[in-house]
Amino acid sequence: PWFLVGMGVGCIACILLGVYGWRYYKQRMQKHTELPIVEHPGKRAMAALKALNRSVTNDPTVIHSGYIELTEIMCQFITNMTDINVVDATTEEMKQMLKNVPKLNTEHYDNIMQLADEMDHYKFSENPELKKETIQQNIQKVVGIVKGMATNAP
């Protein structure tokens, strides 16, 4: 009789192990077949720009850090659109890296460089005039660049 009990327990253990293994296998296969949802760089940049625009106040410290964030948003967008990493580049390095990029037309390149120089002024000058209206205008310029590049993307 103990032999039959042992066989029964062994069979139940094998069945439970098989069910567990089958569920584990199906979960792994489902994870591998699901493609990650990749948000378009333009959408991501527009959401970040909208959030930045809402967070800007008249406080010069907030405006200064807003320019730093605005630069990061713009550089991350350019990196995602051109496949050239300009996130950690200086403005001069960015000028050289983006000079002959086929994905950037001359107008976009000129707008980006003009805006990068302007943002450098607000970030690195001794006593820049930090006004809420000015940063909001610059946010709108970046919005224009994002919309322009996103519509011309292949």
DSSP state of 99: T
Query: 112, exposed or middle or buried, with CB in 10 Å at 0-12, 13-18, 19+?
Result: buried
- Write the pLDDT tens digit of every residue in 66-105: 999 999 999 999 999 998 999 999 999 999 999 888 888 8
Taking only the tens place, the pLDDT of each residue in 97-148 is 998 888 888 898 999 999 999 999 999 988 889 999 999 999 999 999 999 8
- CA dist 74 and 148 (Å) reads 13
pLDDT in tens, 75-86: 999 999 998 999
Task: Report the C-alpha gap between 144 and 138 in whole angstroms.
Answer: 10
Q: Is the pTM of this model over 0.75?
A: no
pLDDT, residue 24, reads 83
First-last CA distance in the chain: 75
